[in-house]
Amino acid sequence: MANAQGVWIWVLNDIREDYLEQLKTCRAKRVYLKVFDGRSKPMFWDFQCSKNIIDDFNKNEIQVYGWGYHYGTSDISNQVNAVQQALDCGLDGYVVDMEAEVEDAATHGNVDKLLAALRSVVPAGGLGYTSFGNPEFHPTIPWVILDKYCDLAMPQIYFEKFTFGRNNEDEVQQCLSAHEKFGLTSEILPIWGSESNTFQPASRAELQAYLDRFPGSSIWRVPKANERGDAWNLNYGASVLTSSSGSATLPTLPALSRVLKLGKIGKDVEALQNALNAQGFNSGQVDGEFGNKTEKAVRRFQQKAGLTVDGEVWTETWKALGGQTQAPNPTSGNLQKLADFAEDEASKQLSWSNASSEAEKYLSVFRKPMQDLDQIGSAKVFYDWCGAFVYYCCKQVGIDMPVQPTGFWATLALVESWKFWSKQQGFFYLKGDQVPKRGDIVVFDWEGDGELNHIGIVRGCTPGADIINTSEGNKQNQSGNFTRSFSSVAGFIRIV
């Protein structure tokens, strides 16, 4: 239920008693329910956030995101514990509301600590923040800190109250442009206002038009009983393209012949953006440029589709979007591309010390799958990453492969997993079965006991020689181009 249209609730007891039935009538698929306030005692609002209440929403096919107002205070553990109590009731996500109090720079360190802690407890993809609609008018809000930790940005674009633009549309665009000027990359899911204290409220039609234009946007807020406001009068049904007959349809995707990732430009990227937007994953402007917004939309789609979350689009992701791929041509040119890329990448001699290391790009795709498999050990680098280096190089030149081969217990971070997968594909050769070529993947058995210990990519090998030149990751926690003894080679993987 990605980017479901939503409506915000402050106090359940103040709204109409038949709110569940009315939400169903409005086709609402998500509510943002207040569950926390930093100045309440207790902070956790257990009177309106319980397993039973959340279950009632869920039984009616309505997601519940909790939200709470935070003041930039230093009692981080108390805040996190209270939010955790709310999450334990079954919330799908959590949104921090931070406004005037955190304009004081003295609070920014507390904001950073709080969000870092929440990042580890809120469901993946479900941490958001809400604040003022136009960052240019509130430059001392810690926007960069909020953006660093949060998946979603929910600016309060209450255009019916604004007076700084020529018209409502101009005000909306100024708010969105300000987020870009500040370099913020979290996906923007605007909040549109419909409140009783508005002097010139937006029309119902205008609010509906903005809901339909911006998948995942929402309305602040459900009015109290007998209070004015149009939140109950809108249609929150998912925005999808429809055919002339009224049935749902999605854009036709061309066959994909390359990996799409950050920095790529072309008609295939434009098709990707259209497909993501049509399914409710806001990838930003459809311009054919694979930027940060498109990458974040891809990651959210992959997460919801149960795919490997790496932000790159190839066979599995493209098929899940409804397209087909063209496999690389089975020529030796692919081996050359792999060898050239690996040699250049290995020459950077990267090492890993923490998640901010550049070498993290090799490891990151395997972190969550390996945690789920209890495969991560206690080594300094949390696992030996030679396999991750080879996987990264393959993906960068358009060679598609799974993170975890079907039928095997481990990911391709383990060298034995490479052997299993390549045998499935018919790519594996024992030493002596083939003359090694530049671009082959080489596996090593240091002890000669039949268990594979290491993996790299062949730079060159002279037939009959007792050495082999390789490009590798994680030789004593460093990548590089090395010379190895041929006696330790166990076999080769030739991906054609």
Task: Tell me the β-bridge partners of 324.
Answer: none
240-326: what fold? Answer: Muramoyl-pentapeptide Carboxypeptidase; domain 1 (1.10.101)
What does the pLDDT read at residue 105? 97
CA-nearest of 20, 1, 93, 113 to 60 is 20
- Give the start-to-end residue ranges of the domains of the chain: 6-233, 240-326, 332-493
What does the pLDDT read at residue 381? 44
267 confidence band (pLDDT: 50, 70, 90): confident
* pTM, rounded to two decimals: 0.53
- pLDDT tens digits, residue range 29-43? 999 999 999 999 999
What does the pLDDT read at residue 383? 63
Contact of 258 with 395, CB cutoff 8 Å: no
Write down the architecture of domain 6-233 according to CATH: Alpha-Beta Barrel (3.20)
Whether residue 419 has pLDDT greater than 50: yes
- pLDDT tens digits, residue range 447-458? 888 889 999 999
Ranked by mean pLDDT, which of 188-197, 240-249, 340-349, 369-378 comes out on top? 340-349
Give the strands of the sheet with 454-460, arranged side by side: 428-430, 489-493, 441-444, 454-460, 467-472, 480-485
What does the pLDDT read at residue 280? 67
- CA distances from residue 281 to 220, 300, 332, 492 in whole angstroms, order as listed: 21, 7, 38, 41
Ranked by mean pLDDT, which of 99-113, 199-213, 242-256 comes out on top? 99-113
What does the pLDDT read at residue 379? 47
Residue identified by tokens 């920095």 is 263
Please tell me what DSSP assigns to residue 289.
B
Mean local confidence (pLDDT), 431-446: 90
Whether residue 164 has pLDDT greater than 80: yes
- pLDDT tens digits, residue range 302-337? 877 767 778 888 777 888 887 765 544 444 467 888
Cis before 139 (ω within 30):
no
Whether residue 342 has pLDDT greater than 90: yes
Percent of the chain's residues with pLDDT above 70 = 92
